[in-house]
């Protein structure tokens, strides 16, 4: 199975990235995690992205906050699908990172998830890999069924709590 590459702009993004890593681990999807910044270590970030396809990656996830151009900078160096996670910072609540990540000019797409959306970034990566991995597709369907059952269980109990 192809790997998922997770790049974060700083180790301060780790709490968000951890949700992505936990989700990938739950699906048994292999992944690698790196700290490469688009502005502090641009050469390393670009080199990782340029070599990702030949190094066995199928999808890349890039998490960054503030003026978050990491996902776009990674996407510029590869035709692998890139998923951006805008990370919340103290000053603008993540709106800065959301707009920086989602507003890519035409030609270089970044599939942007919600602010701090680590779990959804991983689920989207699994969905992409599942196109060529029927067993993963079955796992995704099973998870949806479990999630739905959990909601219906809450529905059945909600009257007792009011
Ligand atoms: C971004 O700046 C990082 O992705 C992080 O979200 C933010 C702050 O980085 P640190 O100053 O905590 O290293 O590049």
Tell which residue, 66, 98, 85, has the closest CA to residue 4. 85
Q: Which residues line ligand 1 (CB under 6 A)?
A: 9-10, 12-13, 37, 64-66, 87
Per-residue pLDDT tens for 85-138?
A: 999 999 999 999 999 999 999 999 999 999 999 999 999 999 999 999 999 999
Q: What is the pLDDT of residue 78?
A: 98
- In angstroms, the Cα distances linking 79 to 3, 76, 92 are 15, 8, 31
The percentage of the chain sitting over the pLDDT mark of 70, rounded to a whole number, equals: 100
Per-residue pLDDT tens for 66-77?
A: 999 999 999 999
Let me know the angle formed at the C-alpha of 37 by 36 and 39, rounded to the nearest 5 degrees.
Answer: 150
Architecture of domain 3-131: 3-Layer(aba) Sandwich (3.40)
Three-state SS for 133? coil
Of all atoms in ligand 1, which is nearest to the CA of residue 9? 4
Residue 162 has pLDDT above 90, yes or no: no
Per-residue pLDDT tens for 25-63?
A: 999 999 999 999 999 999 999 999 999 999 999 999 999
Domain boundaries, the chain: 3-131, 134-162
Q: What is the pLDDT of residue 155?
A: 96
What distance in angstroms lies between residue 86's CA and the mean position of ligand 1's atoms? 11
Nearest CA to ligand 1 atom 12: 12
What distance in angstroms lies between residue 8's CA and the mean position of ligand 1's atoms? 9
Of all atoms in ligand 1, which is nearest to the CA of residue 87? 6
Tokens 């609540």, located at residue = 93
């Amino acid at each position: 199975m192809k790997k998922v590459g997770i790049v974060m702009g700083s180790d301060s993004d780790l709490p968000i990235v951890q949700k992505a890593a936990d989700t990938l681990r739950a699906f048994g999807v292999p992944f690698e995690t790196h700290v490469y910044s688009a502005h502090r270590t641009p050469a390393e970030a670009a080199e990782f992205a340029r070599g990702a396809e030949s190094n066995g990656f199928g999808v890349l996830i890039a998490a960054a906050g503030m003026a978050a151009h990491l996902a776009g900078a990674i996407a510029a160096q590869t035709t692998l699908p890139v998923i951006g996670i805008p990370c919340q910072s103290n000053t603008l609540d993540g709106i800065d990172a959301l707009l920086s990540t989602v507003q890519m000019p035409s030609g270089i797409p970044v599939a942007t998830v919600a602010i701090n959306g680590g779990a959804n970034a991983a689920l989207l990566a699994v969905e992409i890999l599942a196109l060529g991995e029927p067993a993963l597709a079955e796992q995704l369907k099973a998870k949806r069924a479990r999630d739905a059952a959990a909601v219906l269980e809450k529905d059945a109990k909600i009257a007792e709590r009011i």
